[in-house]
Amino acid sequence: MSGWVLTIALNVAAPIITYNALRDQGWSEFAALLAGGAWPVLDSVVHLLWRRRLDEFAVVTLVFLVITAAVSLIGSHSTLALLVKDSAISGLFGLLCLATLMAPRPLMFYFGRKFATDGTAASTAWWNGMWQFEGFRNTTRTMTTVWGVAYCLEAAVRIALAYVLSTDTVVVLSPILMYGVLGALILWTTMYGKRSRRRGEERAAAAAG
């Protein structure tokens, strides 16, 4: 629970407070927005140091941490460009999810292993062994597809909002939209995973009977 509180504080509250405080001090929209964007980067670093292990989840986090820092400093230094680049990161993650559908195992397989196991060799081996079941494979691919499409759409909406709304408004709406989508995806994933597991158990029981 404390981890989620820290994540929300650093990714939603802190950027908004920092942006507004710096704007009140006379900073430009671009400079205040760039400074506020340092908080999500700090959150990623904290989580990497907390885990102290470079697994697949940490690698993805590290890659997007580098990309986020790069796109914030490279290219057009305008407020609109910075907002669009930030939103495009979500779209890039969505495209990554969809691209891994062509890999031997999709991205959500590794994310699921991160959160559904305790990291021990036994639990990791159990999760890896689940791949032999068709129902598990279909469930994992469906989750990956839904996450990929959702994040591509979320990025498109946030980019559109950056063009039609003021920077002050987007600074507030963007993290709310981003974490609202994340929360909805986590809720859907949990419910869908439980339903798929229940169906799998019912099929196994029927086959045994």
Comparing 35-39, 140-144, 184-188, 195-199, the range with the smallest average pLDDT is: 35-39
What does the pLDDT look like over 157-181, one tens digit per residue?
999 998 999 888 888 888 888 888 9
Of 15-19, 52-56, 69-73, 122-126, which range is least confident? 52-56
What integer pLDDT is reported at residue 10 of this predicted model? 65
Question: Above 80 in pLDDT, residue 47?
Answer: no
pLDDT digits (tens, 9 = 90+) for 132-163: 988 899 999 999 999 999 999 999 999 999 89
Phi then psi for 117, rounded to 5 degrees? -125, 165
Burial 69-88 (b: 16+ CB within 10 A, else e): eebbeeeeeebeebbbbbbb
Instruction: Please give the pLDDT value at position 56.
Output: 57
Q: Residue 142 has what pLDDT?
A: 96
What is the predicted pLDDT for the residue at 193?
87
Mean pLDDT over the full length of the chain? 78
The stretch 63-74 carries a mean pLDDT of 63
Per-residue pLDDT band at 8 (split at 50, 70, 90): low
Residue-level pLDDT at 116: 80
**Between 70 and 202, where is the model more confident?**
202
Domain boundaries, the chain: 2-208
Q: Check if the beta carbon of residue 113 is closer than 8 Å to that of residue 124.
A: yes
Which structure tokens are listed for 21? 């405080």
Indicate if the pLDDT at residue 207 is higher than 90.
no
Q: Which residues have CB under 8 Å from 185's CB, separation 6+?
A: 146, 147, 150
* pTM of the predicted protein model: 0.73
